[in-house]
Structure 1
């Protein structure tokens, strides 16, 4: 790689110039060493390519002209799969520079810091995001993906809204495992982890397991955001949700399709803001086949699960102090 880290020169073309031929050759590994590399364009993955840094010290950082250029879906990703299959993003930091740039631009919510879009067999591992002005790690459409051992954080104050950490939108067969999500270092953050159907597409067969999550001031730790499509077959197990406005919440934006077949077991809810019913887990509308079992809540309120076909509410505990 010929790009020089830690200088003011845009490195987009240099890195893209390695991704493209690797894809054309049928696949390969593009390695990026430690250091900060300025990205004023948008990196687009190719089929069967792995983009791999040297750990958190490899930083892909939005440069001063980053908002002058939009990605293929009209937004501002640092990296997008843009329909490429069998891709891996691993071992680097993606810094969108929302603390220094004005990210309140047209298309801000069209694409995301790490944007896995309409792709199959996608892996995000050991990727750390910071200074977002949009969602941090998002899976849009596509199927068969996972994000693990990664982190997000939102630390700005009074600049942005709708800063979700990990967001699964109109997608299926995914895993969110072992991540650290903190959307409340500043006041702008929204949901820590969101599973979201928008329009008529369903979202289903997603595992949310063993994550440490703090949702931001505008959202919840984990949000099931329903619409005209259905959310179903979601496993939420072994997570710690802390310091959030509320722990787990259902919400509806563009429709009223019923959420169903949700398994919520052995999670810990700690020191969340709402201290009354629903502070830990809150289903406000009718749901069916929801199992809510063996969760613990301390200083976080309690649980709300309406009566419904197949619903199970058992073994959940609540205490006023942690």
Structure 2
């Protein structure tokens, strides 16, 4: 059987087409505000554009919502942008760049970290069509609080949409959903390119949250040597993570992690749907891991994914459920040049029609 996404050696595989980009588990719609607030700050002039953009966000929020539109160009961010409820922050595409400037490390966000932008409890928000560049290639991001907030930080918010966002040069997680619920990230991309500067550079990270969709994204945490998990679903402390759909993504995990990681602990991970993803060139395709406890992962669907050219060629190189799990349905996946599958016997576990071949 020929796997679904052809891959030339050293190239990025063709991204599988997303199912009409729908946020079906989260039902997230984001902002419904329609009044337009155009950012008039001058791009490409090396001056700090944080006040000009934040002022437009605040004005839209104070009026009950709206669209804050940023034109193409590079806008220097020395502060930390903070969303308001019912606001959409929209660029003109990848050519709209929000870039951490030389003063970026001189202040922190509301949770003590270094986000380009955070929702920080704002509800009904949309972030769309821009590049968020944390400048981790030129700044020294090894500072206290580095992992307190993230490049694009959706935190303690409800009904949040992230779409058409590119992240570059991170020194922390790239796109993260922390707390809150009903969020969707689609048609976005992350990239990690640094070498020997950082650890724990996850691409898309969901922590202590629920009812989310991760749909049709391109995640590449291995352009450099510092990258970690491509997509991580993570419990931290005793809170559960559940009801998350991860589908039609194209993922390469970094050398410190895996393509997709279910990172359990004192909270439980359950009701996770992993369908139709292509995971390639990673140390391992899909794995479970435990950091701060031993709560059991359960009710996981692993259906119709392709695992190719991953580092580990033995059992567990494609999918590795190392510890006891229950109600895991693993069917109709393809592993080529990626080792095989490990799923321990357990209540409700199903392991059917999973193919393994040495050639892709």
TM-score (normalizing by structure 1): 1.00
Runs of 4+ in 1 over 3 A off after TM superposition: none
Displacement of 1:2 in angstroms is 2.3
* Of 47, 50, 56, the match for 1:9: 47
> Distance between the aligned counterparts of 2:40 and 2:248, measured in 1?
39
Provide the secondary structure at the position in 2 that maps to 1:94.
strand
- Aligned residue for 2:193? 155
> Distance between the aligned counterparts of 1:8 and 1:303, measured in 2?
51
- Aligned residue for 1:241? 279
- Aligned residue for 2:22? none
Displacement of 1:21 in angstroms is 1.1
> Distance between the aligned counterparts of 1:67 and 1:216, measured in 2?
25
Alignment of 1:143-222 (within 5 A): 143-222=181-260
Post-superposition CA distance 1:226-257 (Å, at most 9, x none)? 01000000000000000000000000000000
- Aligned residue for 1:100? 138
Matched, 1:290 2:319: no
Matched, 1:265 2:306: no
Alignment of 1:295-306 (within 5 A): 295-306=333-344
Post-superposition CA distance 1:43-92 (Å, at most 9, x none)? 00000000000000000000001011100000000000000000000000
Consecutive unaligned residues of structure 1, counting only runs of 5 or more, are none
- Aligned residue for 2:266? 228
Could you say what the CA RMSD is over the residues aligned between the two structures, in angstroms?
A: 0.3
Displacement of 1:211 in angstroms is 0.1
> Distance between the aligned counterparts of 1:261 and 1:158, measured in 2?
37
- Aligned residue for 1:32? 70
Provide the secondary structure at the position in 1 that maps to 2:57.
helix
TM-score (normalizing by structure 2): 0.89
- Aligned residue for 1:250? 288
Higher relative contact order (CA 8 A, sep 6+): 2
Provide the secondary structure at the position in 1 that maps to 2:162.
strand
Matched, 1:55 2:93: yes
- Aligned residue for 1:133? 171
Consecutive unaligned residues of structure 2, counting only runs of 5 or more, are 1-38
> Distance between the aligned counterparts of 2:257 and 2:40, measured in 1?
43
> Distance between the aligned counterparts of 2:323 and 2:289, measured in 1?
9
> Distance between the aligned counterparts of 2:185 and 2:315, measured in 1?
32
Aligned length: 322
Matched, 1:314 2:352: yes
